[in-house]
Amino acid sequence: MQVIVDDLLTNYQKTNGKKLNVLFLHGWADSISGQKSFIENLSNFANVIALDLPGFGSTQVPGRAFSLIDYAKFVRDFCNKTQLKNIDYIIGHSNGGAIAIKLVSMNLLSPKKLILIGASGIRNGKTSKKIAVSIVAKAGKIITSPLPASIKKQIRYKAYKTIGSDYLIAENMQETFKNIVSEDVSDDAKNITIPTLLIYGQQDDQTPPTIGLKYHELIQGSDIEIVGNAGHFVQLDQSQIVGDIIRKFIS
């Protein structure tokens, strides 16, 4: 389905027939189609409302660089536009988790419970390395300026890959990416008072369990589950285990 939200054509989907409503927010450079199996799993026990965030999937790219607050306000406006009034749970994966933290801490939405899966938003050394991509990009433009366009692209791609960044996944969202990776939501996390579940993959090298443990300290009364044999997409790597954990938390 599609709807216009804040002048952006927005793609979303919604399941019906259950008593509980779950709003799902995907991560950076992901989409609802990329999380299809997880959404289907959730829909076994809840109505799932999922949208492609601006710039990803089938939702339009915003005309300006977004911040986490911009994404949070967009999600609120989406819920108002689609008349989604009763949200029982918000589930956010990766960058979607950071957006969810903004939503709840700023009282833009008021779910009963919050579930954060591999949530980002606490900026450590690895993330700082990603911020350095902008410096590498500028340097790359200077160094490779006399070269043909095709060769420039190859060199810059290698530079981005070496520094360990997913920067090139959405090239038209580079300024937004710079905003996102420079924002820390630690203080926002301290303001969360609703029951919160943290789920992290033991082998996650993007948002490692140490970030989950920091959130666990910041969010009073939160629960944390670290799932073995799973990476950043723990909900896909160990779908049955994660599904059981979520169902238990919801019940």
Proportion of the chain above pLDDT 70, given as a percent = 81
- Mapping DSSP onto H, E and C, the string for 81-118 reads HCCCCCCCEEEEECHHHHHHHHHHHCCCCCCCEEEEEC
Confidence of residue 11 (pLDDT cuts 50, 70, 90): very high
Instruction: Check if the beta carbon of residue 91 is closer than 8 Å to that of residue 24.
Output: yes
The pLDDT of residue 7 is: 98
Q: Where are the beta strands (DSSP E) in 167-246?
A: 196-201, 223-227
Say whether 71 sits in a helix, a strand or coil.
helix
CA distance 65 to 70: 9
Q: Tell me the fold of 2-123+183-250.
A: Rossmann fold (3.40.50)
The pLDDT of residue 147 is: 53
Burial 132-166 (b: 16+ CB within 10 A, else e): ebbebbeebeeebeeeeeeebeeebeebbeeeebe
The pLDDT of residue 123 is: 87
The pLDDT of residue 150 is: 54
The pLDDT of residue 125 is: 53
Which pair of structure tokens corresponds to residue 198? 């943290």
Q: What is the mean pLDDT of the chain?
A: 87
Cα three-residue angle 10-47-32, rounded to 5 degrees: 40
Residue 137 has pLDDT above 60, yes or no: no
Report domain extents, the chain: 2-123+183-250, 127-175
Among residues 128, 105, 103, 125, the alpha carbon closest in space to that of 181 is found at: 128
Proportion of the chain above pLDDT 90, given as a percent = 78
Place of tokens 């008593």: 19
Per-residue model confidence as pLDDT tens digits over 157-200:
454 444 444 444 566 788 999 999 999 999 999 999 999 999 99
Question: DSSP character for 74?
Answer: H
Confidence of residue 143 (pLDDT cuts 50, 70, 90): very low
CA distance 209 to 14: 31
The pLDDT of residue 220 is: 96
CA distance 118 to 57: 20
For 116-133, what is the mean pLDDT? 70
| pLDDT higher at 149 or 241 | 241
For 203-216, what is the mean pLDDT? 97
44: left (phi over 0), alpha (psi -120 to 50) or beta: alpha
**Contacts by residues 190-193 (CB-CB < 8 Å, ≥ 24 positions apart):** 190/218, 190/219, 191/105, 192/101, 192/104, 192/105, 192/114, 192/219, 192/220, 192/222, 193/220
